[in-house]
A and B are shown apart, each in its own frame.
Chain A
Amino acid sequence: MAEKRRAGVAMSGSCERDGAFACESGVSALLGSSLLTLLESRPRDPVGFLAEHFAHLSAQDDDAGPEHQAVSRALWNLSLAHHSQRSAFNSNTRTAFDLLTRDRGAGVVGVRGRLYTEMLRCLCSEGGLSGSTAAPLLRRVQCHDHESVPFELFRQGVLTCSVFSDYIRASQCLYGSVASASDRPAERALGQAVLETLREALEAADGDDVGRYLEASAKISPGKVAKAMAEAHPGNQQDNPVMDAQEFEDAAASLFIARVRMVT
């Protein structure tokens, strides 16, 4: 009986030691915060997420290129949730912002302009946009190197670039449907008719009324696009009769970019 009691005490002793170790070494706090981060983002691959999360944390102590690391960690955080998952995306944007403002002195609020611009450039590139496609958008939203970017502007910039990447991808698919074959360019008349429909839909999205979303989506419905294509007729004889993918993409991009407010 005495032996059992002693064993019992030894058992609870080792549990207490384990518990103390967990607290002192910071394991409990580490796991708590990691689980919270996981649950906020709800990534598709939780185990992969945790592997990268801990890898990033452990790399924090490295001396090489802290700024570059901050940008890549911020980018990684932003990749965890699509912008349509708005609350997770906003939360990740906040985390990214905090990462980029960490090293600034007390009293300085905001991300350095140079870092902000670099972030947006990387975001566009990771979203599959070429430098030339992204350049006009970046010219509108970027800040001077020395400026300090507050959170709300940071969030808008990040959201705009993320949405623009999706928009360009969708335009590429749209071009694919207009072109009759994958190895031949689309007819100019058809391409222009579709772009015109897209422009009308985007214009319908202006304004304060919430119903504008419904109106805009009605204007870009498959039926509307098909009707526009059916009614298209060849334009000026002197124009090139075909429109290639890049020209279509550039035209679609400029429709989007025209609606982005210039940052002053």
Chain B
Amino acid sequence: MKMNTDRFSLTVDEYLAETNVLFYLNDAVTQLLEHKEEYTQFGVVRYFAEYFASVKNGNHVLFREFSYIKATPHNRESFIHIFWKCFRQIGKNGDLLAMSEYSSLLQLLCPDFPSEMVQNTARIVLIDDATDCLSFSDFIYSFQIQFYYEEFVESVSVIYQDLLSGKNPNTVIVPTSTSVEQLSSAANEEPDAQEGVDSSIFCECIEGLCERFKHKFPSIVAIKEILESSQRVSFYSFLLALAKHEGINQDISALPNKSDLLIDPEMDQELERL
């Protein structure tokens, strides 16, 4: 959440918007007003100190509602990181979990976490519908893309559908959630969807989207790297490639490399004692 030296040339509103300071202040005050009796014993100044310390450390998203968790990029990254820390032991035995089980795990940390997002994650990884079980590692990297770049994924999906249906690639429609559902179910019915679209046109359209996109998106360099590797690409193979891309993972900085994903020395020590 650190800014560069240009921050002195930003207006007050721009500076505050860069790291969503007003959002956090707003939430801190709302929480304080909702739990007055509890927090005023503690001391109002200390309350704010604890609140902002927990935001800085990334613990602030624990057990909060979904609307709070998805509200800022820092919140999303913190949630993904906490999910990994809490549940990485599950991956150690190589167990495969069903999507409903991943949903339950997410809801342990966030009671109203929507299961649709887990279903969308599954579509990225699972090639056939025969099984809906994934390894922890496969799940979490795909989940990261789906959750952290949710708006980007939605917009790219619309671009993809337009290209498939032969529409003008430079027209980008901002989707509502219902239109995306309809479009993706339509794609699943078409046999041609498997063949995908031309990678270079797809790449140009995505670049055009990113020039004016207000939400977070993966680096253009990484996107180009992925799309230059083959002539045609399908939507889910593109998302899978984003999920596996090490550079994108480092940019988000919520998760370690795949080789370090399951390392948990403290828990290992505890388990050895038992």
Contact = CB atoms under 8 A, between A and B. Distances in A.
Contact of A25 (B25, B44, B74): B44
B21 A85 contact: no
A58 B45 contact: yes
Contacts of B1: 45-48
Contacts of B44: 25-27, 30
Main secondary structure, interface of B, reads: helix
A237 B125 CA distance: 74
A55 B53 contact: yes
A51 interface: yes
A39 B3 contact: no
Contacts of B167: none
A44 interface: yes
A236 B49 CA distance: 63
Contacts of B236: none
A25 B56 CA distance: 25
A44 B24 contact: no
Interface string B45-88: 11011001101100000000000000000100000000000000
B46 A58 contact: yes
A26 B48 CA distance: 12
B21 A46 contact: yes
B44 to A, nearest CB: 5
A241 B190 CA distance: 80
Interface stretch (B29-37, B91-99, B109-117): B29-37
B43 interface: yes
A31 B26 CA distance: 10
B173 interface: no
Main secondary structure, interface of A, reads: helix
A49 B150 CA distance: 29
B155 interface: no
A35 B19 CA distance: 14
Nearest to B12: A39
Contacts of B46: 54, 58
A174 interface: no
Given A27-B29, A30-B44, A42-B8, A47 B55 contact: yes
**Pairs A-B, 6 closest by C-beta atoms:** A54-B49, A51-B52, A58-B45, A54-B48, A58-B46, A55-B49
Interface of A: 18, 21-22, 25-27, 30-31, 34-35, 38-39, 42, 44-48, 50-51, 54-55, 57-58, 85, 88
18 contacts: A25-B44, A27-B29, A30-B48, A35-B25, A38-B21, A39-B15, A44-B2, A44-B7, A45-B56, A46-B1, A46-B15, A47-B1, A47-B21, A47-B55, A48-B56, A51-B52, A54-B48, A58-B49
